Structure 1
Amino acid sequence: MAHNSVENLNRYNHIVYGLQEQVHKLEKQIKEVEQFYQSTADALQNGFQSKDEKPPKMPLKRASEEMQNEVMRHFSKILTEITQHKWVWPFLEPVDVKGLGLHDYYQVIKKPMDFSTIRRKIKAKDHSRYKNVREIYEDVRLIFMNAMTYNNEKDDIYVMAKTLLEKFEKKWLNLLPKVDKAESELSKEEADEQLNKKLAQEATYANRATGLSAELSKVETALRNLKSTLISQCRKLSGPEKIILVNGFAQLSEDNLTKALQIIIENDPNFKPTDEIPILDIEAQSDYTLWRLYMLVKQTLDEGKNLITHEDSMEENKHNAKRRKIE
């Protein structure tokens, strides 16, 4: 390295730090992609009968919409016929509980209903609006059931309610096949929409995965280029630097000694320490390997930790260092 090695080292450390931050961000995004595929794999698999089956395509116009409109037209006719019957007048407006002195009405009837309320809910623009024709059917039926619940069987209101309910149920049964068909078509379309939504999400995440792969490849290339640059700028260790490496190596803890051996193995796959205390041939290592070992030792010495506590004298330490033959 040149005389400005410290400045270069700081610059390279900054580059490495930036690459590490980029890798961390990419790893987070990769985890999100993996979680998406993990959470949707079963749902997507269950959505197809076979691997060769193509995903369903939504029609340009929802078939269920026209079917629902037709059902509603028929039901409106039924509603008109019932509300025009001569016996319907007691059920057109809410029960006048106070005026009729029905003090226990709300104790017996938990959900009052009448045709004016139904009309209002049909025309409503907020959350109170009916979601489907079955909800209207339930409320119409509730009108008559309330009257039959509160009144005795011999009362005129009871008889009127029972008669109208029977007429209404008969007309409803005739309409019911169309209601079932429209609901079935709606359910199918909603299932198809949900499946298509998941497929669209899968395509999005597939594109993200491709992009992330490309970004990781760029990071890998940058690291290789940085390594090549560092290797090309490596000079031979000076005498004092060799002394620091030798003496410091002798003080490395077991963990840091393992790191040092890993550095050697990375650049010399054929290296295999055979002794409990590894004996290294300094001439067999490249300048790049020596510099990495030197930086590890120097960092450990600067931090003042992960060092072996010796009770031997300084002369004995030097003797041990020579035995290791570390440059």
Structure 2
Amino acid sequence: MEMANTSILDLRNMEPARQEGNAPELEGFRFRVDEIFSKVDKLEQRVNEVEQFYLTTSKKQPSNSKSSSTVKEKDKEKHIPGTKKLQQEATRREAAAAKRMQELMRQFGTILRQITQHKWAWPFMQPVDVEGLGLHDYYEVIDRPMDFSTVKNQMEAKDGTGYKNVRDICADVRLVFENAMKYNDEKSDVHVMAKTLSAKFEEKWLQLLPKVIEEEKRREEEEVEARLNMQLAQEAAHARMARDLSTELYEVDMHLEELREMLVQKCRKMSTKEKRKLGVDLTRLSPENLSKALEIVAQNNPNFHATAEEVDLDIDAQSESTLWRLKFLVKDALEVKGKSSSIGGDDDTNNDKVAVATAAATTAKRKKDICDAIAKNAKKRSKKLSS
């Protein structure tokens, strides 16, 4: 993505030859460049999305996980259902699970009716009449009151506020007995009645519990499988997106290359004076920008080694495209350098001096080699002209 953006900026900055009547052509060219620029921005967003997805995925699971290896195999990818289909399956699965839970809750309702029909169940059928019985400390002892009528009403609720799980009903039934035994003395009738009914309830609950455990295990397995399938689907989708992005980026690069070549043909020739100034300005670049400049030269010169200890840079031997790219790299770099030096205070100036001194010490030889190479080529040309 960085190379694509750089190429576009190169195209935008190049100076076409100013010929009479070429304004419409120039505008058309600029429109095409802007169009590519917009497309590259969108592609960059999609690339960031893919990178972020795989970055997040790699943190959640080992790189040799089943899902990662599966997505990499293109033939298996065809068998992975899409995200939309998985969401539809999830909806159906949730509906089926809810229906099975309703059946368990219906069976629990049978147990509850058996308990509430017991002759000792009457103290627990309605909320405790705290004021009528004068139980002034009841709410200090009992944090959450509960009774069978409240449980029954919540089981029959149709507005979405009812129980969603049979274990929640079981917990509230137990709370009825626990509250009674907690507030009343062990020898009191209410305590004895609650303890007796609690034992009967637990006995019946144990008969239903295996079905509850089986349903919970099934639900957990389905959820694990659903999460895995969704992960596989997401990875497959992002793998397809990555392949599509690769193709689109390649097409953008090809289009940019076509535009660059077309523009080079339209560009005016750089004068000898401009070339000399460009050679001098190259020696003023920072180490980082100097490396960028040498990389630009290397792109159109396969035999040029940008990272070599010594380089022989012949400005006159460079193509017009390379010269214009170098010119605008130098122009932008020196403008940024000028702004930085003009807005810095005393402390900034001192820091800049230290940084410049350090950079100069590490790059002096490299800059000298470049200057010598440029000067040597200039002398060669002078001799040829004089002879």
Tell me which amino acid in the other structure corresponds to 1:280: D
Change (3 A) 1:174 1:264: closer
Note the alpha carbon deviations across 1:211-232, whole angstroms, 9 max, x for none.
3223212211111111221343
Matched, 1:29 2:82: no
Contact 2:177 2:198 in 1 (8 A): yes
Aligned partners of 1:277 and 1:324 also within 8 Å = no
TM value normalised by structure 2: 0.66
Larger Rg computed on CA atoms: 1
Q: Which residue of 2 aligns with 1:211?
A: 244
1:280 counterpart residue number: 314
Shifted more, 9-18 versus 164-173: the winner is: 9-18
Q: Residues 133-190 of structure 1, C-alpha deviation per residue, up to 9 Å, x if partnerless?
A: 1111111111111111111122111111111111111111111111111111111122
Secondary structure of 1:68's counterpart equals: helix
5 Å matches for 1:132-147? Answer: 132-147=165-180
Contact 1:248 1:301 (C-alpha < 8 Å) held by counterparts: no
Give the 5 Å matches for 1:90-105: 90-105=123-138
Q: Which residue of 2 aligns with 1:269?
A: 302
Query: Aligned partner of 1:35: which letter?
Result: Q
Aligned to 1:310: none
Q: Does 1:246 align with 2:276?
A: yes
> Residue in 2 aligned with 1:312?
none
**d(CA) in 2 for partners of 1:158, 1:124:** 30
1:198 aligns with 2:253: no
TM-score under structure 1 length normalisation = 0.76
| Structure 1 residues 264-300: Cα deviation after superposition (integer angstroms, max 9, x where no partner) | 3332232469998956273x44444455556667x47
2:146 to 108, 113, 116: 113
Within the candidate set 239, 245, 265, 1:232 is matched to 265
RMSD between aligned residues: 4.0
What is the letter of the counterpart of residue 186 of structure 1? R
Q: Which amino acid aligns with 2:48?
A: K
Aligned-residue identity in percent = 45
Cα deviation, 1:68-105, whole Å, max 9, x if unaligned, reads: 34422321111111111111111110000000001111
Q: Matched residue of 2:131: which SS? A: helix
Question: What's the counterpart of residue 7 of structure 2?
Answer: none
- Gap change, CA 1:13 and 1:305, over 3 Å in 2: farther
- Output the amino acid matched with 1:246: R
Q: In 2 relative to 1, CA 248–46 (structure 1 residues): closer, same or farther, beyond 3 Å?
A: closer
From 19, 40, 43, give the equivalent of 1:4: 19
Map 1:16-165 onto structure 2 (within 5 A). Answer: 16=33, 18-41=35-58, 42-43=60-61, 64-65=97-98, 67-126=100-159, 128-165=161-198
Q: Which amino acid aligns with 1:40?
A: T
What are structure 2's unaligned runs of at least 5 residues?
A: 1-15, 339-372, 382-387
Matched pairs, number:
309
Q: Distance in 1 between matches of 2:336 and 2:239?
A: 48
Q: Distance in 2 between matches of 1:31 and 1:275?
A: 36
Change in Cα spacing, 1:160 to 1:228, as seen in structure 2 (3 Å) is same
Instruction: Note if contact 2:315-2:374 (Cα within 8 Å) is conserved in structure 1.
Output: no
Distance 1:118 1:55, change over 3 A: farther
d(CA) in 1 for partners of 2:170, 2:191: 19
Give, in whole Å, the separation in 2 of the partners of 1:117 and 1:67: 23
Contact kept in structure 2, 1:281 and 1:325, CA below 8 Å:
no
User: What's the CA shift for 1:323?
Assistant: 5.1
C-alpha change, 1:3 and 1:180, in structure 2 (3 Å) is closer
For the 8 Å contact 2:163–2:169, the answer to whether it is kept is: yes
Structure with greater helix share of residues: 2
Contact persistence 1:26–1:212 (CA under 8 A)? yes
